[in-house]
């Protein structure tokens, strides 16, 4: 009988202990939940307190064709959010899409300033009569282009501005060994390329294998063609294994013959 009473008492104690543990566990969960709510609410209050409107936009970079205020206005019109919530990646993309922006970086500057650093695009060549192209062949609008008259001119009836810029960069590089600078690059409706140089010499390149033809010109140039620089009017590179030179009026025949002997030019 005594044993049964002790067992009953133990069961009651265990039951009471289990209820107490469950109570403590429940209170602990409630306390943790309340703490999380308080922390989240406090964080939200703090974020809203810090996430104040942007009060200043600083633009840095050497600008020739853009105005700082133009970029400030563009950034201001695209701001959607406060100092912390603003989408910097989206804003950076908006600026990057501007035709005159080459590279851009944006950072927050405490407490409410956006710092924008811009690398401006550079016009590489004129595009036809009025347009201009950057290094990627993208068209640029320039109101005052009086200082850009000496840029090379690209013209085409066949292909895009990006293709023309790519070809211009390749040809200008290949002409470096000759010292000839490209003044105008043309491609007609048949796909024939022509180059006018600053020295007044015209190169007729044909439709294909432009790189090979200019390498051939470089070899002939070093073999003696450069000595007749003042006398050359046109160099025709459409020959499969050589080139032909058209001379200016009034030149001595002996000078022509000497050059042909040294450069193995086709007749």
Neighbouring C-alpha atoms within 13 Å toward the C-beta of 216: 19
Q: Which two tokens stand for residue 33?
A: 């939940």
DSSP string, 58-120: EEES--SSS-HHHHHHHHHHH--S-TTTS-HHHHHHHHHTSTTEEEEEEEEETTTEEEEEEEE
Residue 93 in tokens: 């993309």
Q: What is the pLDDT along the chain (267 residues), one digit of tens a residue?
A: 555 555 555 555 555 555 656 656 665 666 666 656 545 544 554 545 565 777 888 999 988 888 889 888 988 888 877 777 788 888 899 898 887 888 999 998 888 888 999 999 889 999 988 789 998 898 887 777 777 888 999 999 888 999 999 999 999 999 999 999 999 999 998 999 999 999 999 999 999 999 999 999 999 999 999 998 888 999 999 988 888 898 886 453 333 344 444 444 443
List CB contacts of 77: < 8 A, sequence separation 6 or more. none
Q: Where are the domains of the chain?
A: 1-50, 56-120, 125-263
147 three-class SS: helix
pLDDT at 256: 38
Distance CA(212)–CA(84), nearest Å, equals: 56
pLDDT at position 76: 86
Q: What pLDDT was estimated at residue 222?
A: 93
Look up the CATH superfamily of 125-263.
Cell division protein FtsQ/DivIB (3.40.50.11690)
Query: What pLDDT was estimated at residue 85?
Result: 76
Q: Model's pTM, two decimal places? A: 0.65
Superfamily of domain 56-120: membrane protein fhac (3.10.20.310)
Question: Residue 213: what pLDDT?
Answer: 94
Fold match, 56-120 / 125-263: no
């Amino acid at each position: 009988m005594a044993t049964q009473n002790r067992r009953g008492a133990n069961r009651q104690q265990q039951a009471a202990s289990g209820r107490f543990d469950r109570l403590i566990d429940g209170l602990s969960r409630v306390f943790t939940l309340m703490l999380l709510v308080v922390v989240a609410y406090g964080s939200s209050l703090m974020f809203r307190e810090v996430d104040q409107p942007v009060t200043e936009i600083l633009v840095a970079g050497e600008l020739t064709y853009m105005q700082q205020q133009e970029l400030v206005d563009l950034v201001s019109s695209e701001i959607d959010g406060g100092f912390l919530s603003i989408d910097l990646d989206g804003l950076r993309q908006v600026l990057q899409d501007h035709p005159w922006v080459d590279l851009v970086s944006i950072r927050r500057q405490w407490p409410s300033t956006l710092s924008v650093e811009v690398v401006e695009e550079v016009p590489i060549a004129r595009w036809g009569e009025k347009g201009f192209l950057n290094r990627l062949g993208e068209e640029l609008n320039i109101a005052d282009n009086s200082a850009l008259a000496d840029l090379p001119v690209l013209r085409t009836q066949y292909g895009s501005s990006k293709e023309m810029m790519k070809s211009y960069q390749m040809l200008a590089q290949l002409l470096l060994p000759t010292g000839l600078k490209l003044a105008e690059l043309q491609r007609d409706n048949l796909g024939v390329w022509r180059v006018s140089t600053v020295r007044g010499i015209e190169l007729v390149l044909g439709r294909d294998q432009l790189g090979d033809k200019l390498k051939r010109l470089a070899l002939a140039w070093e073999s003696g063609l450069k000595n007749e620089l003042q006398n050359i009017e046109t160099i025709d590179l459409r020959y499969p294994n050589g080139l032909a030179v058209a001379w200016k009026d009034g030149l001595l025949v002996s000078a022509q013959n000497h050059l042909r002997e040294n450069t193995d030019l086709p007749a």
